[in-house]
Amino acid sequence: MRAEAQASADQITAATQLLRRFLDWDRALKRMDELNDAAEDPTLWDNPKAAKALMRERGRLEEAIGATRKIEKELADTIELMEMAEAEGDDGLVEEAVTALEQLAERAEKDKVAALLAGEADSNNAYIEVHAGAGGTESQDWAEMLQRMYTRWAERRGMKVEVIDHHAGEQAGIKSATLLIKGENAYGYAKTESGVHRLVRISPYDSSARRHTSFSSVWVYPEIDDSIEVEINESDLRIDTYRASGAGGQHVNTTDSAVRITHIPTNIVVASQSGRSQHKNKAEALNMLKARLYEAELQRREEEANATNATKTDIGWGHQIRSYVLQPYQLVKDLRTGVTSTAPGDVLDGDLDKFMAAALSQRVTGEKVEIEDDDVE
């Protein structure tokens, strides 16, 4: 088999093996039989909420199993066709088979990512919080660059972006901001971005043109819908009001319409100032709090599921996940997966898909990447 064809075949095989591992193939087939039996139960729709959840799970699992089987069959058929063509000396048919394998490899990667977005809340909208780290104007400018990066990423995918909360920096940038990304699988993709992001560049705010390192933190959690129940005791909340800041129209800075809610048991703090009324901002902040508590529960479950995996990577708040170097050279490097880009301008303009896809895959494999200090300094 030609080298390019072998490379495509290896890529396809790796994708299907990852899918089988992710699905826990034998368990998935057994679960599919159980769901099919349950779907035929005439009493299923006596509980519409449970029925919808079952049908959603069935649909996701059926699609993932079907896609995996289809790719494996097409791979086997194409390899068989290529071997016959090579044996007969039919170069034209060999070329067709090589092209078919390359196209199948592309589709396998897309199907792999789609199947990996089968988590409980992956299809939901996503909140993205960006917080500047220590460092004043430098880190605040970096935080605003990250806010723009996620806005551009969402726009590239045809998603809508709402600014829920925004706190401007003293001289430039932002202290913090919260975005609501609305679109299919917004949380499934964006959840891989939680962590600390590091920027190395020649500072535009340093008259001596020295190189600076800045840090900002990103936190991603899903917007929850009516199918997800999260109970909150009013006695556990501290609710503060303040005047909104930033863009927003004539109502800004005229009334104490912005709302900040602190969940005392967990010390989770959320805020909203996008609405024109205190009532609307309180409702939005409560939704955000429920989403944060739900995300914490999802993370707890994932940690329990991976408790026996010695190579499990840290995915929590405060863990540095990516380095963006603009000076003295141009490089973006993901410190979890080793994926790199020599076009940081494109990445900062929202070209994040390959980083997200690799991080999704790594959550299945659990493989850690060793990064030498010289790679990111």
Region of poorest pLDDT, from 95-99, 181-185, 229-233: 229-233
Mean pLDDT for the chain overall: 85
More confident residue, 180 or 226: 180
- pLDDT per position as a tens digit, 13-39: 988 998 898 888 999 999 999 999 999
- Position 109 scores a pLDDT of 85
Q: In Å, how far are 81, 105, 281, 312 from 167, measured between CA atoms?
A: 61, 45, 15, 35
Burial class from Cβ neighbours inside 10 Å (0-12, 13-18, 19+) for residue 224 reads buried
Phi, psi for 341 (deg, rounded to 5): -145, 135
Do 219 and 131 contact (CB within 8 A), yes or no?
yes
- pLDDT per position as a tens digit, 319-343: 689 999 998 899 999 999 999 999 9
- pLDDT per position as a tens digit, 90-113: 989 999 999 999 999 998 888 888
| Sign of the Cα pseudo-torsion (361, 362, 365, 367, in order) | positive
pLDDT-derived band at 315 (thresholds 50, 70, 90) equals very low
Fold of 3-116: Methane Monooxygenase Hydroxylase; Chain G, domain 1 (1.20.58)
Maximum mean pLDDT: which of 176-185, 294-303, 306-315: 176-185
Q: What residue spans define the domains of the chain?
A: 3-116, 126-223+307-375, 234-305
Phi, psi for 283 (deg, rounded to 5): -65, -40
- 234-305 CATH, one of 2.40.30.10, 3.40.50.1820, 3.30.160.20, 2.130.10.10: 3.30.160.20
Report the C-alpha gap between 198 and 318 in whole angstroms: 12
Which pTM was predicted? 0.74
Q: Provide the 8-state DSSP code for 124.
A: S
Report the C-alpha gap between 76 and 236 in whole angstroms: 59
- Select from 96, 72, 76 the least CA-distant residue to 85: 96
Instruction: State the architecture of 126-223+307-375 in CATH terms.
Output: 2-Layer Sandwich (3.30)
Residue percentage of the chain with pLDDT more than 90: 50
Query: Which residues have C-beta within 8 Å of that of residue 25, sequence separation ≥ 6?
Result: none
Do 353 and 304 contact (CB within 8 A), yes or no?
no
Do 183 and 154 contact (CB within 8 A), yes or no?
yes
User: Residue 91: left (phi > 0), alpha (psi -120 to 50), or beta?
Assistant: alpha
Task: Report the relative pairing of strands 320-325 and 331-334 from DSSP bridges.
Answer: antiparallel
- Select from 254, 252, 244 the least CA-distant residue to 178: 244
- Position 314 scores a pLDDT of 38
| Mean pLDDT value of segment 224-236 | 77
Q: In Å, how far are 39, 41, 43, 52 from 46, measured between CA atoms?
A: 12, 10, 5, 11
Q: Which long-range contacts (CB under 8 A, 24 or more apart) does 276-282 make?
A: 276/249, 276/251, 278/241, 281/257, 282/239
- Select from 233, 208, 195 the least CA-distant residue to 321: 195
